[in-house]
Chain A
Amino acid sequence: MSINSIRDTFFEECEDLLDALIEGLAEMSGGSYEGETVHAVFRAVHSIKGGAGAFGLNQLVGFAHTFETVLDRVRSDQLEVDPELMRVLQRAGDHLSDLVEANRIASEVDEGTHASLLQALNGFLGIDPADGEDGGQEEEFVFEALALDLDLQDDIGGQTDGYEIRFSPNPALYANGHEPLLIFEALAGLGSLEVAANTTDLAPFADLDWKAPKTDWIIRLRSSEPEHLIDEVFEFVEGLCELSIEAIQTDPPEEAAADVPDLDDAAPDGGADPTPPAAASAPAEEAVKVVDLAALRTSPADAEKKQEPKAANGPRPTLRVDLERVDRLINTVGELIINQAVISQRIEEIGLPSGSGLSTELEDYKLLAREIQEGVMAIRAQPVKPLFQRMSRIVREASDATGKAARLVTEGEGTEVDKTVVERLADPLTHMIRNAIDHGLEGPEQRARAGKDAVGTIRLAAFHRSGSVLIEITDDGAGLDRDRILETAVSKGLVPAEAELAPGEIDNLLFMPGFSTAKEVSNLSGRGVGMDVVKTAISSLGGRVTITSRAGEGTTFSIVLPLTLAVMDGMVVKVAGQTMVVPISSIIETIRPGPDELHRFGVDGWLLSIRGSYVPIIDVATSLGRGVPDADVRDQVLLLIQTEGQSHCALAVNGISDQRQVVIKSLEGNYGHIPGVSAATILGDGKIALIIDPDAVVANSSAALRRVSDPRPEKEIANGAAG
C-alpha cells in the first residue's frame, strides 16, 4: 500500500469523521452538551488533526488544533456552551469540512472565513487575536525553541570524555514494561559502555520478586556525545528510577574493576545497602553479561500470561468492501432473478402434472432468489441520517443569506435508502431547502403578524411506504402564492393567458423549466438552477416529487423514491399486443369497470366514476403512439394511479398477465430515451419488455388532451380529479 492510497484512506475516513462531527454538533445544539456527545465531537476533530498531521497538511492541522482546544474546554466544563459559542462551533465544523475538501482536491479555502473563525475560536480561549491568527500554535513553537536553548547550553559545556550514570530502578519501572538491558544497549550505541550491578539487595533466587528485582547499576559511558542524547535514552524512565548523570572530564581508568567498589556512594537515598556487590570485581564486559543472564532475561516482560479476552461491548463489527464488488454481485443476482423467471416459464410450458412436486420447489427457489436479492440490496442501503445532517448547514447558510431565522427538524433519519440515491439526493435536497427558506418562509415581520414563531421550521422527514421511500421537505411558511405563480407562468409564456388550472396544476408549474418566482433576486436565487432540475434529478432516480401547500400554513414537497435502483415489483400488462411493465408502487388499485362507471367525454375521451368523483381515463397505447382508433375502453382493464399533482388517473391497458419482480435495465444506456418509458426489463421468456413511466404517460396525453379539448371540460376533469 502506497502513501497515496493511505492519503485516500485519510480523506475517506474524514468523510465519516465529518459526518460524526456534524451529528454531534447537531445533538449539542439540541441541548446535549455533556458526556459522550462532546467527546465524540472532540474525537472527530482530533482524529482529523492526527491524520492531517501525518500528511503535513498544516493549515488543516492548525485549524483543527484550535477547534479541538475549544472543544476540550467544553468537555472539561471550563467553557460553557451558549448560543454564540454553539454558532461558532457549527461554523467551525462547516469550515473544517471545507478545509478537508480543499486539501483533498488541492485547492484553497476562503482566507477571510478561515481567519475570522480562528479569531472567533481563539476568542473563546481567551487568546488575544492580536497575538496573530495562530495563537495556540505559536505557543508550542516558543516552547520548543526554549528546549533547544537548554540543549545548546549543555553542548557548550559538554566537552566531556564520558559520563557516569547511577541508575536505580523503582518497581514501577518494571511494571511499566521497561527493560534495563535495552536502556544499556541504547547507551552502548552512544559509545563504549561499562556496567556494574549492585545486587546486594537482590533476594535469593527462590524468594525473588520478579516484579521488583532490587538491583541498581553504575554505568560508565565513554562517549563524546552531548548529554541530551543520554537524557533521551532515559526519557521514558524519568520518574521511575533514581538517576544521576554526571559528565566526567578525565579518561576513565582502564580497569573498570578498579572503579566499581565506590558503588556505595551511588546508593540513592533509602536505596540499596551500601555494601560492595559480589559482581563488583568482574570486568565490565562480563558484568553486562552477568546482568543480562541473571536479572534481565527473567524480567517481567517475559511473564505474560494468556488470558481469556474480556467481553467486548464495542460497536457492531463492520466490513468495508469495495463498492464495485457489491455492484458486481447485485448484477449477478439480477441475472439470477431473470434466469429464475426463465426457468419457471419453461417448466410451465412443459406442462408437468401438478402432483410432480416441482412447482413447490420452484416456488422455494423463487423465494430464495428473492431473499438473496433483498440481502444483497441491503448491503447498498444506507441511512439518510448523514444526508439529513448535512442539510443543517444549508439551513444555517440560507438563514444567514436571507436574514430569516430557521431551524431544521429531522425525522426518520434511520430510514435506509440505496447508496446512490442518498448520494444523488444531496443536490436536489439542498436546492429544495434553500427554496423553502428563501421562498417558503415569510420575513420576520410577516411571521409576527401571522402570530407565528419568529424562527421558521424546516422539517425533513423520511419514511418507508409500501416499497418506496418517501422524503418530505416541509416549511411552516405562508404556503404557495398560486395567483403569483400563475401570473408568472403566464407572463413567461409557459401557459396560455386564458388557461384555468386546478390548484395542483398551478403548483406543478414550479417544476417547469425556466420558471422562477423570486421577484427580487436574493443571494440564493440566480444560481441558474430551477425546480425543474430538481425534478429531473429525482426522475432519474426513478422517483417523483409532488407538492402540497396550504395558505398560511406552509408547503410540503414530497419525494417518492424506489428502495432500490436495480429491481422493482412490476405489474406485467398487455398494451397494443405488447408486454409492458407498470411499477406496482404507482398503482393504487386495478379496476375492471362496469358499464355504468364509464362516461363518454368529448369526442374520444372517457371518464371513470369512482367513489363519487370523476377520473380521466388515459389509454396507454394511444399515449405511446400505438393506439388503435376504435379501441373500446369497455374491454380494457384500468389501473388507478396517483399523478404528480396528487390527482388520480386511470391508465387503460388491454389486460394484466402477471405481477412479478423485474430487473431494471437502463434504456438510455442501450438505446435512447422514449417518452413515457422509464426503462426496460427482460422477462421470463427472454423477451424485452418496456417499463412504463405512468407520470410521463399522463403528461403525454394531457398535453394531447389540451390540444384537442376546449378549456371548459378540461377544468371539469381537473376538478373531478382533485376530488
Chain B
Amino acid sequence: MTYVKPISTLWWLRRPSYFLFALRELSSVFVAWFVVYLLMLVSAISAGPEAYHRFLDWSTGRVLVLNVVALLFVLLHAVTWFNLAPRAMVVPHVPPVVVLVLHYLLWLGLSAALAWVVLR
C-alpha cells in the first residue's frame, strides 16, 4: 500500500547539478563523434590527397558547428572529470588542490606537445 512517486520526464531540470549530470551523460555522444571523425580523417588521409581535400571541404559549415559543440561537450567532460581527481586519488599528506593542479598541468603539457607536433 506504499506510494511510489513516478519520476517526471523533466526531473533533470530540477537542480543545476542534475542538469550538469544530464549534460555530462550526453557528452559521451560527442566524445564518440570525435572518435568517428578522427577515424574518418585517418581514412581520408590514407586514401590520398584528393580524398583528404574532399574531407576538408566537407568539414566546413554545419560539420564545423557540430565540431565546436562537440568540443565544448568534451571540454565539459574533461573539466568535470579532472575536478573529481582529488577525491578519487587520495594521496597521504598531499593536499587535494595539488592533485588537481598537477592534473591540469599534465593536461596542458600533453596538449602543448601535441600542438607542437601538429603545428611544427
Decide if A and B are genuine partners.
no
- Residues on B facing A (Cβ under 8 Å): none
